[in-house]
Amino acid sequence: MSSIVSFIGWHDSGKTILVSNVVSELKKLGYRVAVIKSSNDFGIAFDTAGTDTHRHKEAGADSVMLIAPDQMILQTKNSGFSLRTLAHRYFPDVDIVIGEGFKTARKIPKIEVVRNVSQKLREEVHGVIAVATDIEGVAGNYVFKLDESREIALFIEKRYLTRKGSREITALLVNGNKIPVKDFVQEALAQTVRGFVKTLKLQQDIKEIEIRIRVEDLES
């Protein structure tokens, strides 16, 4: 499953530029990266020159998603999913999902981008693990300059990408939330499902299997 880190900050704090630079550095390090951007604006153009989503794609992001009040691109309404659910449901094959926004997302590590000393989101939200700012005198265990995108990428790598290239055999999601599963249980589930699918004698190579179960239909 993908690791998740989100960059937060006030409007025009420089989040998009920093996220794009960090994406580029993570790509240089050999990681697959998806970006999910959150916005409160309506009618946003997606993936056209000059837009934030286009900037992230140009930075090398493998996948880009926009979440806005009137749309979620892939062209659909906002389903209300949490950042964690969005990441696990739509980007299971990347090494890390970088969020932009989602300051109230629960149990998600956040890097705050600050340009104005009077605007400190870390005093209002939980999970801020580092700060990116050019303001002098900002205190904290991990404070980076806005042009230190490589240092931030290495910080993220050390904390959340220590098992580079490793993947879970089986991922279990219940209502969109990932449930931790021990390695031997992953193996048992994978072998059981794979054995059943092989009995179907499909005329194609089996590389990946996905199952979704609607429990409410079982109980009707």
Residue boundaries of the structural domains of the chain: 3-160, 172-218
The structure tokens listed for 173 are 């999601």
Q: What is the pLDDT of residues 127-141, one digit of tens each?
A: 999 999 999 888 888
Is the CATH number 3.90.1300.10 carried by domain 3-160? no
- Return the sign of the alpha-carbon dihedral for residues 2, 98, 155, 150: positive
Q: Are 45 and 179 in contact (CB under 8 A)?
A: no
Average pLDDT over residues 210-217: 82
Q: What is the pLDDT of residues 3-62, one digit of tens each?
A: 899 999 988 899 999 999 999 999 999 998 999 999 888 998 888 888 888 999 899 988
In angstroms, the CA 216 to CA 220 distance is: 6
Q: Are 96 and 2 in contact (CB under 8 A)?
A: yes
In angstroms, the CA 89 to CA 1 distance is: 10
Tokens 């999913």 found at: 81
pLDDT band of 75, cuts 50, 70, 90: very low
Q: What is the pLDDT of residues 104-118, one digit of tens each?
A: 888 899 999 988 877
The structure tokens listed for 98 are 């970088």
Angle at 33 between CA 208 and CA 123, to 5 degrees: 125
Q: Which one, of 168, 174, 216, 169, lies nearest residue 194 by Cα? A: 169
Q: What pLDDT is stored for residue 5 in this prediction?
A: 94
Average pLDDT over residues 179-196: 90
Res. 1: pLDDT tops 60 = no
